[in-house]
């Protein structure tokens, strides 16, 4: 097992020598003779614990501790003040800045060893707990995302043999979001929310979904209801993923020129995730076999999408989609229907 690393910070070489002598048999020791050098060392290779003098020229120990606790890279490192200042007010100030302990000089070897050992053990327990919490949180998030994907596939199974449509189009949506320059977190969110876009088809009769011919007027009206049904199924929730999934379900059939459904909104009034999914959804629908049609070629599909730029689709997003077409076709080939 690797030895823990201790950063000793003191402007007096003799004090450093004493602490090194006490701790070097059990730990790796790094030293800094002033505050700025301590901050650089802590940021470059964060130690497991820091023993910090208070009275140093230039930047004193309190200032160093405050800087450490404000930096995301070093805020978690336990800090023990080692100082000749023995007043209660000094100790209180040290603890208020985030230090875990306060040792007065001249130091006692058994006290230093015991305090360091204790706080390293507590720090290890804290890190282990944080890792377990992160792992559990990741597991719950993965489970939630998988449930959403499976619900999306459940809707697709009503008019699609394998449900791979939701897999492909969610990949396309993420690629388009990335190309558009949206934040990484948003791109992952749209990837996980997009599979719910047609969840409302659960409420659409099979006679309409599987009809091998063009829908008549009443049937088309019935089909259009799936957008609102989907939004109702997802419902109102503060979770960002479900909020986005609802917006996508409700808006992915809106058109740039305002001729879409269910609300006839246009242009930038359509949420960007709805505009992105509109392109991803149509591309995959056209290039896939459906009960009422054969699969279109990628070339013919792109001609249609380009012709609808500024009418059905956001023209800027169409241009971005053209630039990721090679990546899109690779995903299409990887997740093709069998």
CA–CA separation, 219 and 21 (whole Å) = 85
The string of pLDDT tens digits covering residues 76-86 is: 999 999 988 87
For the residues 266-273, what does the mean pLDDT come to? Answer: 97
Say which range, 107-111, 158-162, 193-197, 256-260, has the weakest mean pLDDT.
Answer: 158-162
pLDDT of residue 190: 96
pTM for this one? 0.61
For the residues 211-227, what does the mean pLDDT come to? Answer: 90
CATH of domain 157-334: 1.10.3210.10
The string of pLDDT tens digits covering residues 281-322 is: 999 999 988 766 788 999 999 999 999 999 999 999 999 999
Nearest CA to 80 among 54, 56, 59?
54
pLDDT of residue 159: 59
Cβ-proximal residues to 33 (8 Å cutoff; 6+ apart), any chain: 9, 10, 11, 13, 16
**C-beta of residue 152 within 8 angstroms of C-beta of residue 195:** yes
pLDDT of residue 197: 92
The residue among 208 and 175 whose pLDDT is bigger is 175
% pLDDT > 90, the chain: 67
Burial of 253 by CB count in 10 Å (0-12 exposed, 13-18 middle, 19+ buried)?
buried
Listing DSSP states for 231-263 in one string gives HHHH---S-HHHHHHHHHHHHTT--TTS--SSS
Q: Is the pLDDT of residue 50 over 80?
A: yes
What is the residue extent of each domain of the chain?
A: 5-131, 157-334
The string of pLDDT tens digits covering residues 108-138 is: 999 999 999 999 999 888 888 888 888 887 7
pLDDT of residue 133: 85
Q: Is the pLDDT of residue 70 over 60?
A: yes
Query: Has domain 5-131 been given CATH number 3.40.50.2300?
Result: yes
pLDDT of residue 152: 67
The string of pLDDT tens digits covering residues 144-182 is: 777 776 676 666 666 554 568 888 999 999 999 999 999
């Amino acid at each position: 097992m690797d030895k823990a690393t201790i950063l000793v910070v003191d402007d007096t070489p003799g004090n450093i020598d004493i602490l090194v002598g006490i701790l070097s048999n059990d730990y790796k020791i790094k030293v800094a003779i002033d505050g700025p050098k301590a901050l650089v060392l802590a940021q470059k290779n964060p130690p497991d614990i820091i023993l910090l003098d208070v009275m140093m020229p230039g930047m004193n120990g309190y200032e160093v501790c405050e800087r450490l606790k404000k930096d995301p890279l070093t805020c978690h490192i336990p800090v023990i003040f080692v100082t000749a200042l023995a007043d209660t007010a000094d100790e209180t100030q040290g603890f208020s800045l985030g230090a875990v302990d306060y040792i007065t000089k001249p130091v006692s070897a058994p006290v230093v060893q015991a305090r360091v050992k204790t706080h390293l053990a507590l720090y290890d327990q804290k890190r282990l707990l944080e890792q377990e919490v992160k792992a559990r949180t990741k597991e719950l998030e993965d489970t939630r995302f998988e449930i959403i994907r499976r619900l999306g596939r459940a809707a697709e199974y009503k008019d699609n043999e394998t449900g791979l449509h939701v897999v492909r189009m969610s990949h396309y949506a993420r690629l388009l979001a990335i190309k558009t320059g949206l934040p990484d977190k948003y791109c992952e969110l749209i990837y996980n929310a997009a599979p719910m876009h047609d969840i409302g088809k659960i409420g659409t009769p099979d006679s309409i979904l599987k009809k091998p011919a063009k829908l008549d007027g009443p049937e088309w009206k019935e089909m259009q209801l799936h957008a609102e049904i989907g939004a109702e199924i997802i419902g109102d929730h503060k979770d960002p993923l479900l909020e986005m999934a609802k917006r996508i379900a409700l808006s992915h059939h809106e058109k740039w020129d305002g001729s879409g459904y269910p609300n006839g909104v246009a242009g930038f009034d359509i949420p960007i995730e709805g505009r992105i999914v509109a392109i991803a959804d149509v591309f995959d629908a056209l290039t896939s076999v459906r009960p009422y049609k054969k699969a279109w070629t990628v070339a013919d599909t792109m001609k249609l999408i380009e012709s609808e730029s500024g009418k059905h689709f956001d023209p800027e997003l169409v241009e971005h989609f053209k630039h990721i077409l090679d990546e899109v076709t690779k995903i299409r080939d990887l997740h093709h229907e069998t």
